[in-house]
Structure 1
Amino acid sequence: MTTPPPSPARRVTTHDVARRAGVSQATVSLVLGGNPRARVSAVTRERVVLAAGELGYRPNMLARGLVQRKSYALGVMVPDLSNPFFLDVVTGVQRVAAEAGYAVLPGDVRETNAARHLDALRARQVDGLILDGFGALALPESALADLKVVLVDEPSERWPGVASDALGAGRLAAEHLVGLGHTRLAFAGPATDVHGFRMRERGFFQVLQAQGLGLSSARLRRVAPDVAGGLQAMKALLALGPTERPTAVFCANDLVAAGALKACLTAGVSVPGEMSIVGCDDVELARVLTPELTTIRVPARELGARAARLLLKQLEDESWVPRPAKPLPVKLVARGTTAGPGNRE
C-alpha cells in the first residue's frame, strides 16, 4: 500500500520519506545527509532519493546544522557589488554552494569596513570565507586564523585560492593594440597591491618593453577602478600635446574603459578612429556600450564556482591538501572600440 503524501500545510520530514521508501529514518538521514561512508546499498539509496523527490522533501538545514555544529553558510567578501564582475563571481559561488545545501552571505567591503563585515559573518557562524585581493589586503592574517578561507585572484602561501591569468590579460591587450599598429599607448588603472590589477599592468608593460615602446609617466594614469576613474584618466590623456597624446589605451577593467569611452564621446573624439580602447573582464556592460567594447574576457563565474568547490572540499575533509592549479585562461574579445591608428601616428 502506497504511503499517502503529507498534507500541503505540513513540512515533509525524513520520517515521511522513510515510510514512503520502506526504510528506517536513520537510513534516510544517512542517504540525504550525503555521508560518503554510509553503508547503504545502491538500490536502497535510489529508493530513498526517489521517495524524497516524490514527496518534495527539503532538508531542514537549521536542524542539520545544530546536529553537525555547522551553519551551512559561506561568507563572500568583495570590494564592490555594483561592479558586474564581482556579481558574477558571487553568482558562481552561489551556484555551487546551493547544490551542496549552503547559503551564501555576500558583503561589499566598499560600503562596510572589512573588519566589521568579518565580525558580522562570524556572528552568523559562517563555515568558511571566500575573499578577493582587496579583502585579503584589508585584513590581518590573525583575523582569519580560525576560518576556512579561499582567495580569489590573490596568491597566498597560507590559504588555497583560484586565479585568472591576469598577466596574460595584460599581454593580450598590448599584443592586440601593437598588432593594429599603435606605438603611442597608455594605461589607466589603480595604484594598488591587489595582485590581479598589478599583473594586468605588468603583462601590458612586458609586451611594450619587448617591442621597444616606451610609456611616459603622462600616459600612465593612476585612477580608481570605476567609471569616474576612466573619465578622469581619459580627460587627462586627451589634454596632452599632439606628440604625446596616445592613440590607444588599455584600461584595468571594463568600468574604467566605459568611463574612458564616455570622455571621448563627450570631447568629440572618434572611437576607434582617433582613440582605441581596450577593457578587461568582459562584463555585460561591454556588449551594450556604443561602440561595443573590445576587452579581455575573464571567467568570473568560474572563478567563483572553483573557489566554492575549494572551500567545500576543505569543509568536507580536514586533512585535504589542495594542489596548485593553473590560472584560468583569458581571451581577447575584439569588438568596436579598437582599430588601426590611421594617419595619426
Structure 2
Amino acid sequence: MTVRLVEPTRPSRRFHATATPMVFDLGLSENPFPPLPSVMSAVTSALAQANRYPEFLPEELPRVIADHLGVSPDDVVVGAGATGVAMQVMRALGDGELLTSTPTFDGYPIMAEMAGMPLVPVPLDSGGDQDLTAMRRAVNRRTGLVVLCRPHNPTGTVLDAAAVRSFLAAIPHRVPVLLDEAYVEFLDPADRLDIRALLHRHPNLLILRTFSKAYGLAGLRIGYCVGRGKLIERIRNQQLPFGTPTASIAAVRAAYAAGAELRDRVDSINRERIRLRTSLRACGIEVPDSHANFLYLPGPGVATALRRAGIKAKAYPDGSARITVGDPAAGHAVHAALVGLR
C-alpha cells in the first residue's frame, strides 16, 4: 500500500561538506519532516501573544492532554519534553538508585548523575530486549526508580504487554516505575498498553510521553507524565513557574485534531524503516525489529562506516550505531555506506 503524505515534506537535515557532497544528520531520532501545516498555523497564531507570560503553573495544557487520554487533569504533569519531565521525576524522588537497562536512552545516565541517583545498569538480553527477570532481581531497598522503555531506545524492541504487567505486579509499591513511551505512536494499536488500567492497578507507575517524535515538535519541548495520587503530586511540585509556553497549548490542540494526517506520516516513517531494515539484513547486518523511528545497527565498524560516508549517527563504544529513519534519501545513503561491511 502506498501512503500519501498530506503535504510536501522536507527531508532530514542535509548540508554540503568539503569531503562529502551530502551529509545526513541521523543522530537524534528526530522526525525528518516539519510540523503538520495545521500545527504550524496554530503555533504561528499563538506567537502573536508572545509578549505575554504563559500561565504561572500550567493548567490548560494538562487539561488538554488529560481530555485526550481520558484521565483527570490532576494526573498529568507537563514539562520541557520527556527529558525535562524525567528530570522533574528524578528530583522529586530523592537520591535512591536508578535501575535501568544498558544501553538505554543516553539522557538517563546524565540526568541520574545530575539528580544524585547512583545508576544500576542491567544489560539487555541477547535479543536486544530489556531483561525483566534480571531487572526484577536487581530491585532492592536502595532502589529509588526503575525505568522501562517501550519501545526500547536504542534497539526499538517492544516488551510483551503481559510481561510488562507481570513485571509491574512484582515490583514493591514503594518503588516508582517510569514507563518511557516516547515512541508509542509508532506502535501498532494492538501493541499499545491500556495506561488507564495500569495506573489504576499500580499507584507506583508513571507514564512518560512526548510530542518530540511522531508529532515532530522536538523544538517546542513538550513532554508529559501521567500518574496518580501522591506520587504525581510530588512530580508536580517540581514544576517550573512560567515554564510552559502558550504556543505549546496551541500546538497540542492542533496536533490532536490532525489525527488522520499524523497516522499517514507515522505510516510513511514505519514503511521506510521496514524497507531499510530489510535491505540491511540482506547485507548481513542483524538489525533488530524496531518499532520506533530509528534502527539499531550492531557493530563492529558500523559507526565508523557511517561517519566516513558523512552520516551522523548515535554511536556506541562497540562500534554499533542508532540511526533515524523516515527520509528515503537518507536510508539509501545508509545502505550504500554499509554494503559490503559484513
- TM category, shorter: 0.3 to 0.5
Larger Rg: 1
- Structure showing greater relative contact order (alpha-carbon pairs closer than 8 Å, 6 or more residues apart): 2
- Structure 2 length as normaliser, TM-score? 0.35
Return the TM-score normalized by structure 1. Answer: 0.35
